Structure 1
């Protein structure tokens, strides 16, 4: 079996365990009338930023926490927090505060018992291996499997949103940067 085959098998194993009902519940919380904020550190943060970009492409008002032009999050907003372990202190602390302040939280983690999951209104469990050893075991380094499958999971959520909101690929292309 090649390395490519092994990695694809790992991704398939994780994606078979992503609960579509959790995606459906998250879809209900993300609506065009709400501001969406994303939060993550390191590679998880990059996955969150990728999700933010896709939300922008389908017409959402979306912000990345930590960017200089991001406004303050407020009650009624939605926060999507990503942490494979669900224990990254900077992510958990900001998520806890936002949740206490009336922000709706969607947590994306491999650990259903984590502080991130406990401070979320809805959790998306993406059971890929993390650097702390949670999730499906992997031949890949650190949290690579979690990152890969989080990207896919959030892209599936975006596809669900685009279908629900009747946003076509052509419509999404109109908001895509032409500077690439």
Structure 2
């Protein structure tokens, strides 16, 4: 078996364990009248940026924490955090601040008992190996690659749920896509 097939099988193994009902529950928090703030560090942050981009294509008002054009959070906003370990310092601290501002805190993590999961209103568990795992479930890949890859697919799935819920077609999303390319 080749290395790419091995990676694909690992991703399939993780994604098949994600609870799609949990994805639908999280989708209920997304409202076109609410602002969404996405947070994550490192590669989790990159997956968050990809998710934010797709949400923008679906017509949501979305911002990425740490960008220069990100406004302040307000009561009722959605704070969407991604952390494989669920204990990334700045992400957890930002989630606490968001909670204190009466934002809905949604998170994606591999650890249901993590600090991030405990303060979240809703948690989507992506049961992939992360860089700190030493348990039975191992990956041939380095660090948190399996978590990051799986999160990308799961969040694209969440976007598909949202597009179907809001009757957004590919043509409608394309109108929101950058047209300078």
TM-score by length of 1: 0.97
**What's the secondary structure of 1:29's corresponding residue?**
coil
Q: Say whether the 8 Å CA contact 2:39–2:91 is kept in structure 1.
A: yes
Match of 1:120 in 2: 120
Q: How is 1:87-126 mapped onto 2 (pairs within 5 angstroms)?
A: 87-126=87-126
Match of 2:23 in 1: 23
**What's the secondary structure of 1:26's corresponding residue?**
helix
Q: Which runs of 5+ in 2 are unaligned?
A: none
Tell me the distance in 2 between the aligned counterparts of 1:127 and 1:178: 37
Q: Which segments of structure 1 move beyond 4 Å, counting only runs of 4 or more?
A: none
Match of 2:35 in 1: 35
**What's the secondary structure of 2:63's corresponding residue?**
strand
**What's the secondary structure of 1:13's corresponding residue?**
helix
Q: How many residues align?
A: 180
Tell me the distance in 1 between the aligned counterparts of 2:30 and 2:118: 19
Match of 2:7 in 1: 7
Deviation at 1:100, TM superposition (A): 2.3
- Distance 1:134-1:45 versus aligned 2 partners, 3 A rule: farther
**What's the secondary structure of 2:81's corresponding residue?**
strand
1:52-73 deviation line (CA, Å, top 9, x unaligned): 0000001000000111110001
Tell me the distance in 1 between the aligned counterparts of 2:3 and 2:144: 17
TM-score by length of 2: 0.97
Tell me the C-alpha RMSD between the 2 structures. 1.1
Q: Which runs of 5+ in 1 are unaligned?
A: none
**Once structures 1 and 2 are overlaid, which stretch shifts more, 17-26 or 125-134?**
125-134
**What's the secondary structure of 2:124's corresponding residue?**
strand
Tell me the distance in 2 between the aligned counterparts of 1:60 and 1:161: 10
Q: Say whether the 8 Å CA contact 1:127–1:134 is kept in structure 2.
A: no
Q: How is 1:20-169 mapped onto 2 (pairs within 5 angstroms)?
A: 20-133=20-133, 136-169=137-170
1:17-56 deviation line (CA, Å, top 9, x unaligned): 1001110110000111100110000000000000000000
Tell me the distance in 1 between the aligned counterparts of 2:152 and 2:84: 12
Q: Say whether the 8 Å CA contact 1:64–1:70 is kept in structure 2.
A: yes
Deviation at 1:178, TM superposition (A): 2.2
Deviation at 1:75, TM superposition (A): 1.3
